[in-house]
C-alpha cells in the first residue's frame, strides 16, 4: 500500500528539458580573477567590485558549515563555473529582441514574457543562468514610481539605493554561502517601492538554471519604503542533469516603517532522480529586516532540489513589527531538506507567527529548524510556532529542531508540533467514496497544507497545486 502512495507522489519532473544555446561561460574555478571577470562583464563600478572582493577574501577564510541534518559529498568549488550567460544577452531595447530560444524556454515553462500576453497583474523578471533576460511591465510600474529591474541594471541605474541597502540585512560576512554569493553573484532582481505606494501588481522573478556544471548565484534586494506594500513571487526550475549543481542565492528584504513585504516562493529545482543522482544543491540565505509597525511575510513551497538548506528569517527591529513564515516542504526519493526560519525579536510588542508543514515520502529526509530569539528589550514579544510533519511510507524521516531563547520575561512563546502519517485507512475511506488513490493523496496532502496555501497569491497557489499534484479547491470549498 505504501508503495502505491509513493507512486502517486512520484511525478515526473516536467521542467527537466535543457535549451541548446550558445553561452558566454567562464571556465570552472574560483579565484580573485574570476570575481574581477564577473564584475568586468557587467561593467560594474569600482565600489561594487570592492564589495565583491571583500566578500571573496572573507569567504576564503570561512569553512563550509555542516551543522544541518543533510548529507552530501564534498563540493569542489573549483569544479564549478561561476558565470554563464546566453551569448546574445546584451541589454535589450524591448522584449521583442529576446532570443527566440529563450522565449521558447519560458513559454514551455508557462512563464509568459510578452507583456501583451501577460496574465493579469503579474510583472515578471526572468533570470536565465547568470543574467536577467527580460523584465516585463517596467513602464507601467514606473508610473507608480516602483523600480523593478535586474540587479545588474540597478547597480548601474540606482547605485545610491543599492549601496545603501545591499548587505544591510545579510552582510557579506554572514555565512559561508552568503559570502560566496556576495563575491560571485551574477544577477537577480531589484525592487524599490516608494513611500506610501501600494505596488499595483504582483512582482515575480523566474529563475532558470540551464547550463551544465554552473552554479547560480542570484541576489535579490527588495526595499519597501515607509507605508509601502509589495507582494513578490519567486519561481525556480532547472534541467534534469546527472551532476549536482549549486545554487546559492541571497535575498534581502527591507520593510521600512509601516511597510509590508510579502515574499512567496515556489521552489521546484530539479530534485535528482529516484536513485538520488543529480539535482540542485540549494543553499540559500533569505532574511528581512522589519522596521516599526511593518510586516514581513515569507511563504514558501519547497518541492524541488536534492538538498535544501534555507531559513527565511525576519529581524524584528522596530516596535510593533510582525514577522511571518508559512512553509510547505516536500521531500521524496532521496531528497533532503533542512529548512525553517529565524525570528529575532528586538523591538517592543513584536509578533511572529510560524507555520511549517513538512511532508516526507520515499527515502526523503525533512527537518524543520527554527529559532525564536527574544532580546532583552523586546517587551511584550509574542511568538506562535506550529510545526506539523506528515509521513508517507516507512522509509522517510521527519525531524524538528526548535531553538527558543527568551531574554525578556514579558514574552510569550508557544510551540506546537505534530506528526501524522497518511494511513491506509484514510486512503481506503476516500476510495470507498469513489475517489481514486491519486485524488485521495492529493486531498489529504492539500488539507494538511491548507494553512500555508491560503497565504499564497492566487497565481502561485495554482502552480503549487499542480506541483504537489493536488487540488486546492478543498481549502476554498
Partner 1 sequence: MIHISDLRASVGDKEILKGISLDVGAGEIHAIMGPNGSGKSTLAQVLAGHPGYEVTSGSVIYQGKDLLDMEPEERAQAGVFLAFQYPVEIPGVSNAYFLRTAYNEVRKARGEPEADPLEFLDIVADRLKLVDLDEAMLQRSVNAGFSGGEKKRNEILQLAVLDPALAILDETDSGLDIDALRTVADGVNKLRRQDNAFLVVTHYQRLLNYIVPDRVHVLVDGRIARSGGKELALELEARGYDWITAEQGVGA
Q: Is 104 helix (H, G, I), strand (E, B) or coil?
A: helix
**Contacts with partner 1 in 33-72 (CB under 8 A)?**
none
Nearer to partner 1, 143 or 433 (CB): 433
Nearer to partner 1, 449 or 467 (CB): 449
Nearer to partner 1, 23 or 449 (CB): 449
**Contacts with partner 1 in 75-114 (CB under 8 A)?**
none
For the beta carbon of residue 442, count every other beta carbon within 10 angstroms: 22
How far apart are alpha carbons 31 and 82 in whole angstroms?
10
Any contact of residue 301 with partner 1 (CB under 8 A)?
Answer: no
Going by C-alpha positions, the residue among 131, 288, 118, 133 that lies closest to residue 203 is 118
Cell output for 193? 517601492
How far apart are alpha carbons 243 and 276 in whole angstroms?
10
Q: Is 253 helix (H, G, I), strand (E, B) or coil?
A: strand
Q: What dihedral do alpha carbons 251, 122, 198, 158 form, nearest 10°?
A: 50
Tell me how far, at minimum, the Cβ of 469 lies from partner 1, in Å: 15
Tell me how far, at minimum, the Cβ of 460 lies from partner 1, in Å: 19
**Contacts with partner 1 in 443-472 (CB under 8 A)?**
443-444, 446-451
How far apart are alpha carbons 325 and 343 in whole angstroms?
9
How far apart are alpha carbons 21 and 88 in whole angstroms?
9
What's the Cα-to-Cα distance from 364 to each of 74, 120, 390, 431, rounded to whole Å? 20, 37, 12, 26
Tell me how far, at minimum, the Cβ of 6 lies from partner 1, in Å: 15
Tell me how far, at minimum, the Cβ of 357 lies from partner 1, in Å: 10
Nearer to partner 1, 416 or 424 (CB): 424
315 and 169 Cβ atoms separated by less than 8 Å: yes
Cell output for 174? 554572514
Q: Is 103 helix (H, G, I), strand (E, B) or coil?
A: helix
Tell me how far, at minimum, the Cβ of 301 lies from partner 1, in Å: 15
Cell output for 325? 513564515
CA of residue 232 relative to chain centroid, distance: 11
Nearer to partner 1, 187 or 455 (CB): 455
Any contact of residue 3 with partner 1 (CB under 8 A)?
Answer: no
Tell me how far, at minimum, the Cβ of 72 lies from partner 1, in Å: 33
* Size of site (CB under 8 A) for partner 1: 29
Tell me how far, at minimum, the Cβ of 335 lies from partner 1, in Å: 23
**Contacts with partner 1 in 370-429 (CB under 8 A)?**
423-426, 428-429
Tell me how far, at minimum, the Cβ of 300 lies from partner 1, in Å: 18
Find the DSSP H helices in 227-377: none
How far apart are alpha carbons 178 and 415 in whole angstroms?
29
Tell me how far, at minimum, the Cβ of 462 lies from partner 1, in Å: 17
Tell me how far, at minimum, the Cβ of 449 lies from partner 1, in Å: 7
Nearer to partner 1, 43 or 436 (CB): 436
**Contacts with partner 1 in 14-33 (CB under 8 A)?**
none
Nearer to partner 1, 16 or 474 (CB): 474
Q: Is 220 helix (H, G, I), strand (E, B) or coil?
A: strand
Nearer to partner 1, 115 or 438 (CB): 438
| Angle between the N-to-C axes of helices 437-453 and 2-9, in degrees from 0 to 180, rounded to the nearest 10 | 60
Nearer to partner 1, 10 or 420 (CB): 420
Nearer to partner 1, 74 or 433 (CB): 433
Any contact of residue 1 with partner 1 (CB under 8 A)?
Answer: yes
Going by C-alpha positions, the residue among 266, 311, 281 that lies closest to residue 216 is 281
H-run or E-run covering 328: strand 322-331
Tell me how far, at minimum, the Cβ of 423 lies from partner 1, in Å: 8
Nearer to partner 1, 154 or 444 (CB): 444
**Contacts with partner 1 in 419-448 (CB under 8 A)?**
423-426, 428-437, 439, 443-444, 446-448
How far apart are alpha carbons 390 and 422 in whole angstroms?
7
User: β-strands 279-290, 313-316: how paired?
Assistant: parallel
255 and 289 Cβ atoms separated by less than 8 Å: yes
Q: Give the binding site for partner 1 (CB under 8 A).
A: 1, 423-426, 428-437, 439, 443-444, 446-451, 473-477
Amino acid at each position: 500500500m505504501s508503495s502505491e502512495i509513493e507512486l502517486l507522489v512520484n511525478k515526473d519532473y516536467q521542467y527537466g528539458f535543457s535549451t541548446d544555446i550558445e553561452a558566454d561561460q567562464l571556465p570552472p574555478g574560483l579565484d580573485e580573477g574570476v570575481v574581477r571577470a564577473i564584475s568586468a562583464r557587467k561593467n560594474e563600478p569600482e565600489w561594487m567590485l570592492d564589495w565583491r572582493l571583500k566578500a571573496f577574501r572573507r569567504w576564503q577564510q570561512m569553512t563550509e558549515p555542516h551543522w544541518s541534518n543533510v548529507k552530501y559529498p564534498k563540493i569542489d568549488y573549483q569544479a564549478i563555473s561561476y558565470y554563464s550567460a546566453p551569448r546574445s544577452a546584451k541589454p535589450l531595447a524591448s522584449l521583442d529582441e529576446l532570443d527566440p530560444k529563450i522565449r521558447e524556454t519560458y513559454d514551455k515553462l508557462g512563464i509568459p514574457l510578452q507583456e501583451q500576453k501577460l496574465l493579469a497583474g503579474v510583472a515578471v523578471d526572468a533570470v536565465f543562468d547568470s543574467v536577467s533576460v527580460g523584465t516585463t511591465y517596467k513602464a507601467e510600474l514606473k508610473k507608480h514610481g516602483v523600480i523593478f529591474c535586474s540587479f545588474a541594471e540597478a547597480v548601474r541605474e540606482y547605485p545610491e539605493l543599492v549601496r545603501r541597502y545591499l548587505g544591510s540585512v545579510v552582510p557579506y560576512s554572514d555565512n559561508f554561502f552568503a559570502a560566496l554569493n556576495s563575491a560571485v553573484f551574477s544577477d537577480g532582481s531589484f525592487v524599490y517601492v516608494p513611500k506610501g505606494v501600494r505596488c499595483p501588481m504582483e512582482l515575480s522573478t523566474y529563475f532558470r538554471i540551464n547550463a551544465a556544471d554552473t552554479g547560480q548565484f542570484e541576489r535579490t534586494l527588495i526595499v519597501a519604503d515607509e507605508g509601502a506594500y509589495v507582494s513578490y513571487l519567486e519561481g525556480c526550475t532547472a534541467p534534469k542533469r546527472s551532476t549536482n549543481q549549486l545554487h546559492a542565492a541571497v535575498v534581502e528584504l527591507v520593510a521600512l516603517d509601516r511597510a509590508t513585504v510579502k515574499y512567496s516562493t515556489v521552489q521546484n529545482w530539479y530534485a535528482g532522480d529516484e536513485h538520488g543522482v543529480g539535482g540542485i544543491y540549494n543553499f540559500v540565505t533569505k532574511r528581512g529586516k522589519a522596521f516599526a509597525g511593518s510586516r514581513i511575510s515569507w511563504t514558501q513551497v519547497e518541492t524541488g532540489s536534492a538538498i535544501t538548506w534555507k531559513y527565511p528569517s525576519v529581524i524584528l527591529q522596530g516596535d510593533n513589527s510582525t514577522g511571518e513564515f508559512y512553509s510547505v516542504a516536500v521531500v521524496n526519493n532521496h531528497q533532503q531538506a533542512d529548512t525553517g526560519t529565524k525570528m529575532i525579536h528586538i523591538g517592543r510588542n513584536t509578533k511572529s507567527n510560524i507555520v511549517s508543514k513538512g511532508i516526507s515520502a520515499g527515502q526523503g529526509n525533512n527537518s524543520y529548524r527554527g529559532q525564536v530569539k527574544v532580546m532583552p528589550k523586546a517587551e511584550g514579544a509574542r511568538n506562535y510556532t506550529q510545526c506539523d510533519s506528515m509521513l508517507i511510507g516507512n522509509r522517510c524521516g521527519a525531524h524538528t529542531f526548535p531553538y527558543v531563547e527568551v531574554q525578556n520575561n514579558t514574552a510569550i512563546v508557544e510551540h506546537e508540533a505534530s506528526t501524522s502519517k497518511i494511513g491506509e485507512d484514510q486512503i481506503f475511506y476516500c476510495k470507498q467514496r469513489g475517489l481514486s488513490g491519486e485524488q485521495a493523496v492529493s486531498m489529504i496532502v492539500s488539507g494538511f497544507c491548507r494553512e500555508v496555501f491560503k497565504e499564497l497569491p492566487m497565481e502561485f497557489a495554482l502552480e503549487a497545486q499542480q506541483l504537489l499534484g493536488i487540488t486546492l479547491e478543498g481549502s476554498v470549498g
